[in-house]
Structure 1
Amino acid sequence: MPPFSVLHVCMGNICRSPMAERLLVVAARELAGDKADELLLVHSTGTGGWHAGDRMDPSAARQVLSRGGDVEDFRARQLAAEHIEASDLILTATGEQYEFVLGLAVDAADRTFVLGEFGRLLPAVDLSALPPAAPDADAVYARGVALVSAAARIRRGRPPLPGDDLDDPWGRGHDYFGRVADEIEATVRPLAAALLGG
């Protein structure tokens, strides 16, 4: 069985989604060490392709590095249907990108959330009702699929709220990027704990 796959989506794939990608990896490695890379596949894309092949925005990279992450091998990519099909959980930066994902793959609705929306729903999930957490790819996959299904049931088809969106920090200062990174961590850290136990 493949690792549980989390796809982060923003507009250009150089600020918000790469920070979310790499900060989820940081959180997972804190819980599972190097084995985290076998348990989770975390990747990111942008709805637009104008930055394809570019490195992470320097301000975004500084946030990732300052929080224990790695940025060396990152290259921006444009979202395609195959990225959605290969992902078990899709987390978008905004409601606009959520709609973009569903425009490419309407059947992904129950596994696509705005990042802040998922963070808002996660505390309502009864983690004790999920398959048990274990440092095993099959266990993490089963728990992840159940977690996503539980969050979709709690959402009950309601659309994301405007407050679920992550502000775009592109072209802003260090403090602005720091606030957005804090908001990302507020979701990806509990997500990692829910998936891996901890």
Structure 2
Amino acid sequence: MTEIENRTFDEIAVGDRAEVARVLRREDIELFATVSGDLNPAHLDEDYANAGRFHRVIAHGMWSGAVISSLLGTRLPGPGTLYLGQSLQFLYPVSIGDTIRFSVTVRTKAEKRHVTLDCKAENQDGQAVVAGEALVIAPAEKVRRPLPHLPEVILHHDGDQKTVAGGALDPQHFETYQIARA
């Protein structure tokens, strides 16, 4: 993918869907903690997490929210989308190595270019991990642009250096699926 393109309000139909699959890596958790400032040991400290409720390190719930936000801002509706609100329920923990399939599906279109989308995420076993909805204002104008270049991100941890090349848009980091028309 070398370009990013939106769907205008007039191009969107109820039932349209976009999805992406992501494999959660430890680096995703570390980078999310760094950017968000959420240093909860359930996400970062294996000893603490292993003794906790889930007996393993789990993703920040809002990591899923951020991936859903990326679907809305890059796929459906895409660039020019204004995010008005989101409601999410975190149904099951996401662990390192899990493959999560995120989807957004247009539920309603309303006045003022308001679009409500159902937001879902399932793990590799088909277990629902996140469910909710998002309310956006869909763009009125068509946008097609080259993908912006992201800086290289280097995480320093305990003397080790890890490079997350190209951030989340690195094609080796996720698998995308086509946008489906209703």
**TM-score w.r.t. length of structure 1:** 0.28
**Structure having the larger proportion of residues in helix:** 1
**TM-score w.r.t. length of structure 2:** 0.30
Larger Rg belongs to: 2
